A and B are shown apart, each in its own frame.
Chain A
Amino acid sequence: MFGKELYHKFILCIIFVILLFCFMAAEINFARAEFEPVAENSYLKLYINHENAEIAVTDKNSGNTWYSNPPGRSDESIARGRTADRLRSQLRISYFAGQSRRYMNSYTDSVQNDQFNLEYLDNGVRIEFVMGEVWQEHDYVPLMISETSLEENILNKIDDDRDKSFVKDLYESVDLKERPENYEKVEIYGFDKEKAFGNYTITKKEDWTDRERRQFLIYFTSRLVELRENVDSRGGITFADIKPFKKNPGYILKDGLADWDLDDFAEILMEIGYTPDENTTQDHMTYGIAPPQPGIRIFEVPLEYYLDGKNLVAKVPVEEINYPDGDVAAGDPAGEERITHLPLVEIEIMEFFGAADQNEEGYMLVPDGSGALINLNNEKTNRPSYRQNLYGRDYSVREREEMRFANKQLHLPVFGLKQNDRAFLGVIEKGKSLASINADIAGRTTTFNKVFPSFNVLPHAQVTLTGELEESAMNIYQSRLPEEDLQIRYHFLSDDRADYVGMAEAYRDYLIGNGILEPLPAEDNLPFFLDLVGSIHHQAPVMGIPRRKVKPLTTYEQTKKIVEKLINNGIDNINLRYRGWLEGGQEHNFPVNLILEDSVGTENELNDLYRYLNEKGVKFYPEIDFQFVYNNQLFNGFSTRRDGTRFISGETAFMSDYHLANYRQLEEEIRYILSPRHLNSTRSDFSNEYHQIEPTNLTLKNMGEVLFSDFRSKEEDLIDRIQAKRANMDFSYELQNKGVELLLTGGNSYMLGFSNKLMETPLRSTGQDIIDRGIPFFPIVLHGYYHFSGQPINLVDNMEDYFLKMLETGAAPNFRLMYESSSALKNTPFDDNFNLHYGKWLKEAEKKYREMNEILGPVHHKPITDHKKLKQNIVMTEYGEKKSVVINYRNTTVNLGSFEIPAKGYKILEGRIKEVE
């Protein structure tokens, strides 16, 4: 038998447990309590919170829910004030007021003021944020109000009697009555009572003293002068101005009220739903006085979310963005006085989407160089956070007086975050050429790790005007917003796909789905990239006067010799990039006409070389640069004023070299930049002549890695970065259409569809301090779909490591060579190519190629299916689920259980990873 006490305890226990479950359930539900579903498809379900416009999306497959704003933000212990508010916002904009940069976010400046509007879309939701205070508190308070309005719209809606009397007390009644006979005039300076009041007079209460009346009249008239548009002074008041009071007896706000009283009043008005744009305006109109004006610092930015298959898409339609840009709004009575120019320069979208808190484990992916990971909570708060713009710097923005190193390029518009067993990958789809990738770790400003894109929608530059005594700076902006939307596509990954390889695969699939990547045909041999320097220019005296002279380094005949030797050494599948075949050498003259460089051979010799190479199965890609104008001469078809791009300041844009030691601009070597507008016409002029000679393919120097706008000040002449990107794409498309196969360098993502050969692709990260690990994200995306190579092997710092890196990433070998001896480049602008003489490298090239071809040859058209760090400095790459390469970067031999890898060596495993153990 149970004892009674035990029984009680048992019941209590059960109750306790039930209660606990209830609380937990409540806790669980709490997070999603205000979220309502708005869209759903077979993969995802989208929720929105009507209160604060936050969204959440659930991946049905894995059950993971992703929030636009971290649900755990109530525990936030670092951020305060506006920074804490950012945890609740989805958009953050920055604008300029004069020289100072200001920020607004969608929570503090829109949601908190209840200034957003939700709208349902087919498969999602649209939120229109109006940021900035539209109505300030004093705008709510009607300065004059009719009796009926006060009664109906205000007093009747107030429940509290004390509030009622408080409100009543704020006003004085204004009543217009016929003047009694014994009326005594009150004289007020400059006020013509007869003209204004005629036969009427203002009464308030019976026992007015003259002094009181006089004071009231002064106050009343001055208010009228202040508020009515058509009255300049007391003398100007006519009966017409006073007349409305006869029809609608009303009230006027008392004189000298305390600010806090007005604030309280405004609060009451807000509570009862009395709005400035309707009620107050109406009240004011009754008496013909100026209605309250909405605030000027108003930014309207809509944000759309919708589901598209397995992805969530976030989009800002740029066309519908409104910012105070100096135009007078139609029908604004205040007109000219309210002109304001507050250019909206940058938009950050979903700063905290999927943000990971301090307890999560995982990393953030940034496309830095070949790709890099920032570990969550890595505690590097004393190092700067990550922020880099995509596709390199836009050198047209402003000339740069000092420059360190330009190797911080991002080629891919992706970012991602992995926390525990789930991850998301963001792909910037539209507006990417304006985008920057930002990432920061927990512990600096908030307790969250975040990675997000921002868009520089209005590029700007500061110009200084130097006077004799003072200097003043002003900002100049691009003349209009871009014409493309900002759009980000979020992929959700879970479990074993939730890592950087999964992210790379997701991005690769995305590119394949868009027809940008196509699988390589199955060939047996690894490609070999040969980069021959044909001729260069240098400064040398001609008849005692320094001139630009061209120095041949590898003629067409010598090219044949080098290629022949390589082929005889067993190197197959050669892609030959040849520099310096156009007049002027490697940095050739403006190529509007095809003029060959004579010092390396004649046109016949070139054709001959082409035929020879064709016969040998060597692909020939002579190099050309359409973007930079290296040697601008008179009448060369390029006019700096007409064809050059412009800085935002309106001056002709140029690029220059920089001093190695102090990073200052060197004025000797200046290159102008061909405006993207003229790319296509230059191309068609060139290619007409190009088709008359035999070679058919081209290497496009720089096209794959630099992107310049043309900031002409007229709106219709402006080529913004998005248009520039399109111009580059059109240009490549046209060339491709004419049957020209292209070889590109770098690899900006928008150019990937126009070729399947890349040189000088980054195989490493740039190593910003905040980064914890460089990964071959780019190679994983490309491998099997692209022939790509890294830096020339003979120019890297550590050949041994680089060779291993190539095995890790599947990059093809690349050698930059020339026929002349290496010292030929001494005292030329190309003296950073230390060691190019081919004789020294033939053997090495052969050895490296053989070694690599044996490993990568059979799998070079297969994608990379896995990549892992096994131990410190030991990595493994799996090619096409067929073959794995384990690489040891250490200086010591490593024993991995079943096998050993020598120092700086590798081990090939057939099959998948399981065999590693």
Chain B
Amino acid sequence: MVNSRLKLKYYIFSTFIIILTVFLLNIFSTVSADTPQDYNVPYNSYVYNFWEEPVPAPQAYVPDRIITGQELEIDSFSSPRDLHVNREKQQIYIADTGNNRIIIFDEKWQKVNIITQFNTEEGQDEFDDPRGIYTTSDGRIYVADRGNNRILIFSKEGEYLDKVGRPEADEFEFRDYRFLPSKVAVDQHGMMYVVADEIYEGMLEFDMDGYFTGFIGAPEVQVDFFQYIWRRFSPQERRERLSLFLPTEFSNLEIDERGLILTTVSGGAVDEEDYVRRLNPAGEDTLYRDGFTAPMGDYGTSLQDAGGEYIYQGSLFVDIIPRPNNAYSVLDQRRGRIFTYNRRGHLLYVFGFRGDQRGGFRTPRAVEAIGNKILVLDSRKENITIFEPTEYSQLIHQAEEYYTEGRFNRAVDKWEQVLDLNANYDLAYTGIGRGKLYQNNFAEAMKNFRLGQNRSEYSRAFEFYRHEVIRKNLSIVGYIFLFIFLISVIGFKYYSKFGEYYIQLKDKNRHIIFDLFQMKNYRIFQKLYYYIIDTMKSLIFGLKVIVHPFGGFWELKSENKANYLASTINLIILIATFIFMRQYTGFIFNTRNLEELNILVELASIAVPFFLWCTVNWALTTLMEGKGTFGEIYKTTAYAMLPFILINIPLTVVSNYLLLEEYMIYFLLFSLALVWSFVLLFCGTLTIHQYSLSKMFLVTVFILLGITIVIFLGLLFFNLLEQVYAFFLTIYRELTYRI
């Protein structure tokens, strides 16, 4: 009884406590309901590999907090356009465009100031459509007040100081121009750079006193040969008007630690490669583009829409921020992603996504970094998403930092940790490779550069390695070279003699085998034997052909010195050497994916042009009084390819010992084979058809034309076939759906 009463008491008491607790806790928890650990990250991360395919990567940054106007206890934002962080003061500035105000927070998101009204020379004034905001290290605030066609300058306390209006310069006609500034930045010398709408000549540059000094930053036109000619013939004024710069629509700019201007381009006649640039005060681009491709966000993303037309859907960069160690992050508005590149232009990581989930964007406008966090402003969602770095991206930045500081051992350590988290990360191998290179461990460096698909640095490591090996084994290398030299000299001199001798020897012994055949009546074997002998003779005959094309091909035609089997063997060997070359060319010169070898494709890539040539050649020359038969054409073509067979293999071997800078040697050898083969083909065709030189030229042109036509017809045929197929498919589908 007592017990149960106690229990009851206990129960009542505890209930009371619970209610009290809940009540108290409710008071605490009314502020906000932002709990990142309750949500999954809504996007996948990736990096691009050497073949421009996206490869999965761990998350580099995850959404931590979402900040809205209500949460900060000011009115909600209204399509805010710009966000700026002053690194010295650790303050956050927001251009709340729709509400025509500038809001300033400290790093803990406590409100510092809101500027809506201010006193200018002419009295009280307000913003109209303020689109850009920037602060200098001493705290001065620059606002691109677009609707009022001016840049406003405020003191760090938010007092109005000055304004810069429409540029008034003589050298440029501003008469019809409305000054519509949207972004502004100021370097440490007080030079002000402005991105303004409807200006395609570049960014506007103002000096400390607010005077317009000129344009900066439009990429230079690369004049090619035809343009040059065209320009020569155009009239003087026109020549001047075809100015040296391309029309460019800048979307944003930022000044980095070294005072260089980082810019993003969203339109105009600018290559994807130039979407991001780092300009020095002279307006020259100093950005490194050593990555697998230039920093341009997503690539290979032109999409086919329903109508079958390809639409370009590359990244649309709208903002850029400098990151530690001269890295930078760019915001892609199209897919809501933030791409981060390091100093040399290698893609470090990608994060973000477009969607209606936590951490997704609708219309992201601005990106900023505060400490190691990243803030993204979304003007449609009217909020700011704060991203926290994960262990993965922190390791990457640490490794980069150690490398810049020259602490290579530590950098290697960090890169190895990165690899533990992501075995797909090519850049980590490069990083390790660099570390090893500085430790003078060249072999290891090469191995890692190879894993990281970094050919230029592999070449550098290889240079040292080669040097080292040669130095160590100078004598052996010398002997080897001498030996090779001797062998080749002797071989060259005696090879043909040896071949003749061999055949004579066979001839001597022939009667023995011959008798054997006679005895047993094996006539087939006898024929076969002769055929083999014949083939071998034919193969050896090839060596003569390639040095004496006219005589050789004449013998081929008149004395039937080459048989079909030998020609076919030549063709097969040709294909085999190309496959060998594809797989075993040195890493520096071999940019193909070795794991994706498909012999059938390789075979087709040689055999199809080969037979196309033969067929078209035959078809045309029979019409043009050519004396050659198809068989002869086949043989001639096969023999004309011999230089490739001779050069491919040595070339492949040599390529393994060449540096990137020595590509001329590689190129030269290959060109030699190409020219030689072409000469042979030309001479051979001429000889077997018994054409004059001039006629042969004509025929060659015709054949090439003929090949083009055949290819064209082939494509046409396949296209037609496809359409017929599509037609029947549509009928079939329509029938099945409607019935």
Pick 10 A–B contacts, CB within 8 A, sort by A.
A405-B43, A463-B737, A661-B298, A767-B39, A774-B35, A798-B62, A870-B25, A914-B13, A914-B17, A917-B17
B636 interface hit (Cβ, 8 Å): no
**What does the 1/0 interface line of A658-688 toward B look like (CB < 8 Å)?**
0111101000000000000000000000000
Residues of chain A within 8 A of B42, CB atoms compared: 405, 407, 766-767
**What does the 1/0 interface line of A357-375 toward B look like (CB < 8 Å)?**
0000000000001001001
* Option from A471, A540, A660, A762 in Cβ contact (under 8 Å) with B595: A540
Q: Evaluate contact between A383 and B737: CB separation under 8 angstroms.
A: no
A805 interface hit (Cβ, 8 Å): yes
Shortest C-beta distance, B64 to chain A (Å), equals 10
B73 interface hit (Cβ, 8 Å): no
The docked-state distance in angstroms from the alpha carbon of A650 to that of B734 is 11
A74 interface hit (Cβ, 8 Å): no
Shortest C-beta distance, B495 to chain A (Å), equals 31
Shortest C-beta distance, A49 to chain B (Å), equals 37
Main secondary structure of the interface of B (DSSP, over half): mixed
Residues of chain B within 8 A of A797, CB atoms compared: 41, 58-59, 62, 390
State which residues 415-451 of B face A: CB under 8 Å. Answer: 419-424
A557 interface hit (Cβ, 8 Å): no
Q: Evaluate contact between A541 and B31: CB separation under 8 angstroms.
A: no
Q: Evaluate contact between A831 and B424: CB separation under 8 angstroms.
A: yes
| B730, closest chain A residue (CB) | A465
Interface centre among A471, A650, A660, A872 (most CB of B within 10 A): A660
Main secondary structure of the interface of A (DSSP, over half): loop
B372 interface hit (Cβ, 8 Å): no
Residues of chain B within 8 A of A774, CB atoms compared: 35, 38-39
The docked-state distance in angstroms from the alpha carbon of A770 to that of B33 is 12
Top 10 nearest A-B pairs (CB, nearest first) are A774-B38, A544-B599, A767-B358, A767-B39, A832-B56, A660-B54, A797-B59, A823-B423, A914-B17, A822-B423
The docked-state distance in angstroms from the alpha carbon of A804 to that of B35 is 13
The docked-state distance in angstroms from the alpha carbon of A774 to that of B359 is 14
* Option from B29, B39, B597 in Cβ contact (under 8 Å) with A766: B39
Residues of chain A within 8 A of B356, CB atoms compared: 383-384, 768-770
Interface centre among B38, B360, B422 (most CB of A within 10 A): B38
Q: Evaluate contact between A471 and B733: CB separation under 8 angstroms.
A: no
Shortest C-beta distance, A617 to chain B (Å), equals 32
B side interface size, CB within 8 A:
75
The docked-state distance in angstroms from the alpha carbon of A474 to that of B730 is 13
| A771, closest chain B residue (CB) | B358
A side interface size, CB within 8 A:
77
A608 interface hit (Cβ, 8 Å): no
A625 interface hit (Cβ, 8 Å): no
Residues of chain A within 8 A of B381, CB atoms compared: 382-383, 769
Which B residues are closer than 8 A to A by beta carbons? 13-14, 17-18, 20-22, 24-25, 28-29, 31-44, 46, 54-59, 62, 70, 298, 301, 303, 306-307, 313, 335, 353, 355-360, 380-382, 390-391, 419-424, 579, 595-600, 602, 723, 726-727, 730, 733-734, 736-737
Residues of chain A within 8 A of B730, CB atoms compared: 465-467
Residues of chain A within 8 A of B359, CB atoms compared: 767
Question: Would A773 and B390 be within 8 Å (CB), given that A660-B44, A766-B39, A798-B62 are in contact?
Answer: no
| B301, closest chain A residue (CB) | A662
Residues of chain A within 8 A of B390, CB atoms compared: 797-798
Q: Evaluate contact between A465 and B734: CB separation under 8 angstroms.
A: yes
The docked-state distance in angstroms from the alpha carbon of A480 to that of B13 is 60
Residues of chain B within 8 A of A642, CB atoms compared: none
Q: Evaluate contact between A871 and B35: CB separation under 8 angstroms.
A: no
Question: Would A805 and B29 be within 8 Å (CB), given that A405-B42, A545-B598, A913-B18 are in contact?
Answer: no
Shortest C-beta distance, A167 to chain B (Å), equals 50
Shortest C-beta distance, A507 to chain B (Å), equals 19
The docked-state distance in angstroms from the alpha carbon of A649 to that of B735 is 12
Which A residues are closer than 8 A to B by beta carbons? 369, 372, 375, 379, 382-384, 404-405, 407, 463-468, 471, 474, 476, 496, 539-541, 543-546, 649-650, 659-662, 664, 713, 762, 764-775, 797-798, 801, 804-805, 821-823, 825-827, 831-832, 834-835, 840, 868-873, 875, 889, 912-914, 916-917
Interface centre among B18, B301, B596, B726 (most CB of A within 10 A): B18
The docked-state distance in angstroms from the alpha carbon of A804 to that of B56 is 26
Q: Evaluate contact between A873 and B35: CB separation under 8 angstroms.
A: yes
Q: Evaluate contact between B599 and A543: CB separation under 8 angstroms.
A: yes
Shortest C-beta distance, A91 to chain B (Å), equals 28
| B25, closest chain A residue (CB) | A870
Residues of chain A within 8 A of B353, CB atoms compared: 404-405
Q: Evaluate contact between B358 and A914: CB separation under 8 angstroms.
A: no
Shortest C-beta distance, B413 to chain A (Å), equals 15
Shortest C-beta distance, B421 to chain A (Å), equals 6
Tally the A-B contacts, defined by beta carbons under 8 Å. Answer: 190
Question: Would A834 and B21 be within 8 Å (CB), given that A384-B356, A545-B599 are in contact?
Answer: no
Interface centre among A463, A541, A762, A767 (most CB of B within 10 A): A767
Question: Would A914 and B18 be within 8 Å (CB), given that A404-B355, A831-B56 are in contact?
Answer: yes
Q: Evaluate contact between A769 and B358: CB separation under 8 angstroms.
A: yes
Q: Evaluate contact between A650 and B737: CB separation under 8 angstroms.
A: yes
Q: Evaluate contact between B34 and A764: CB separation under 8 angstroms.
A: no
Q: Evaluate contact between A835 and B62: CB separation under 8 angstroms.
A: no
Residues of chain B within 8 A of A801, CB atoms compared: 36-37
The docked-state distance in angstroms from the alpha carbon of A872 to that of B301 is 42
Shortest C-beta distance, B198 to chain A (Å), equals 30
Having A466-B726, A832-B44, A834-B424, one finds 9 other A-B pairs with CB under 8 Å, namely A382-B380, A476-B737, A546-B598, A659-B54, A660-B46, A661-B54, A773-B33, A870-B28, A913-B21
Residues of chain B within 8 A of A661, CB atoms compared: 46, 54, 298, 301, 335
Residues of chain B within 8 A of A835, CB atoms compared: 420-423
* Option from B17, B38, B43 in Cβ contact (under 8 Å) with A764: B38
Residues of chain B within 8 A of A826, CB atoms compared: 423-424
The docked-state distance in angstroms from the alpha carbon of A869 to that of B421 is 33
Q: Evaluate contact between B39 and A871: CB separation under 8 angstroms.
A: no
The docked-state distance in angstroms from the alpha carbon of A913 to that of B380 is 42
Q: Evaluate contact between B14 and A764: CB separation under 8 angstroms.
A: no
The docked-state distance in angstroms from the alpha carbon of A464 to that of B308 is 13
Residues of chain A within 8 A of B423, CB atoms compared: 821-823, 825-826, 831, 834-835
Shortest C-beta distance, B15 to chain A (Å), equals 8
The docked-state distance in angstroms from the alpha carbon of A474 to that of B726 is 18
The docked-state distance in angstroms from the alpha carbon of A375 to that of B36 is 17
The docked-state distance in angstroms from the alpha carbon of A835 to that of B56 is 12
The docked-state distance in angstroms from the alpha carbon of A464 to that of B34 is 44
Interface centre among B40, B391, B422 (most CB of A within 10 A): B40
* Option from B21, B382, B597 in Cβ contact (under 8 Å) with A914: B21
